[in-house]
Amino acid sequence: MQYFLKSVVIALHNIRANPLHTFLSTLGIIIGVASLVAILALGDGLEQTGREQLANTTSLNIITVSSNAYKTVDDIRVRVENRPEISTEHAFEAEEVFHQKAFIELTDRRTTQIQKDDSVSAVYLQGIMHQTKEFVNDSLRHGRFISAQDVKDEKRVAVVSNIITEKLGLKTDEAIGESFTLKGEDFEIVGIFDVKENDLPFVYIPISVYRSQESSFPTLTLKALLAEEIPAIEKEIEEWLDEEFEQGSDAFSVTSNRARVEQFSRGILLFKLIMGAITGISVLVGGIGVMNVLLISVTERTKEIGIRKATGAKKKDIILQFMSESITISLVGSSLGWLLGIIGVTIFVPIVNNMSGAGFSAAVRIETAFLIFILATVIGVVFGTYPAWRASQLDPIDAIRHE
């Protein structure tokens, strides 16, 4: 180890002795590594931005569980008899099982009419549980959402949008406590949320009340706290279904957007691999430059090598010295390339955002730094092997006589 460090010191001394020559010879590595760093940082940033946009539009953490209305027999779809139904009790049991990994919601939806005095309004009626606020982006303006106790006690309460209050002839700021009629039953308004003018008119009521009014097969929805846990949660859901229902998990469909995320990630990986292969050409040229530096060094130091061998240095000592120099030069060139790549990305990203308004950002991961370190070492070993071998094969007497 001490000898290796001494070889590194000698390599740094040779770099300082011929800085311009070494810089020009390692320019290929500098440019190649800078390009590779930029490609990886931009690719990681693109993946991160894409995931965020997908998360905002497709609910990547959502897993849905619904009973199958049809099954396939002899390649023919037939309706399922005794179709399993997920009850409110099942939903509360699922909440106890998965509360540390996901939020739970049991929901179903239909269109209907509600009435207050002479005002009648067509609405989208949705039965919900108490964790709906974790699934929707609606901003609660007044009052509260449906509570767990509302669901358990089957209370006739409702949360409506500001559009509904206006259609019913109520003042939005004064609608809390007012009531409307749905299928002959009075519902008290306990919450009001804001929606845009073109949004659908939604009315939320407890899922237990919803199901008491009309037979339904609600969907159990889970929102995973961590997206990477979705595969494990899906497996646990299937095991839970096997325990809770006689028909087992085969009678249900468990779906998520994981496949879409994986497809997107594969596309980004393909982009990074292709662009990385292209920039690898520059790295290859840089490796040839390192070989050129070492071959010149062997020529200039032939007499020194002869003296060292004459005084007892073995072939492996000469090889270790030149391999150390090769790796050191590669690491120095890669470090400069890393710095240049980071500077380039820092300048490039704001320009892209200014032109596109995409809110794009680069992402530099620790894996990238580790990859560059490995790449520099490989370049040093591969392109330093021949010069080191050539130096070790010099005859001591001929080398000492060399001028």
pLDDT in tens, 35-85: 878 877 777 777 677 666 655 555 678 889 998 888 777 778 888 788 888
Mean pLDDT of the chain: 80
Whether the predicted pLDDT of 355 surpasses 80: no
Confirm if 46 and 351 have CB atoms less than 8 A apart.
Answer: no
Residue 58 pLDDT: 54
Q: Which amino acid is present at 180?
A: F
Among 1-15, 156-170, 365-379, name the most confident range: 156-170
Kindly report whether the global pTM for this prediction surpasses the value 0.85: no
User: What average pLDDT does the segment 360-385 reach?
Assistant: 76
| Radius of gyration of the CA atoms of the chain, in A | 35
Whether the predicted pLDDT of 266 surpasses 90: no
Closest CA to 203 of 149, 162, 150: 162
Sign for the pseudo-dihedral over CA of 229, 234, 238, 243: positive
The span from the CA of 244 to the CA of 312, in Å, is 80
Residue 224 pLDDT: 86
Residue 51 pLDDT: 63
Where is average pLDDT lowest: 85-94, 208-217, 238-247?
Answer: 208-217
Give the percent of the chain with pLDDT over 90. Answer: 17
User: What average pLDDT does the segment 368-384 reach?
Assistant: 77
Q: What is the pLDDT confidence band of residue 155, given thresholds at 50, 70 and 90?
A: very high
Residue 153 pLDDT: 92
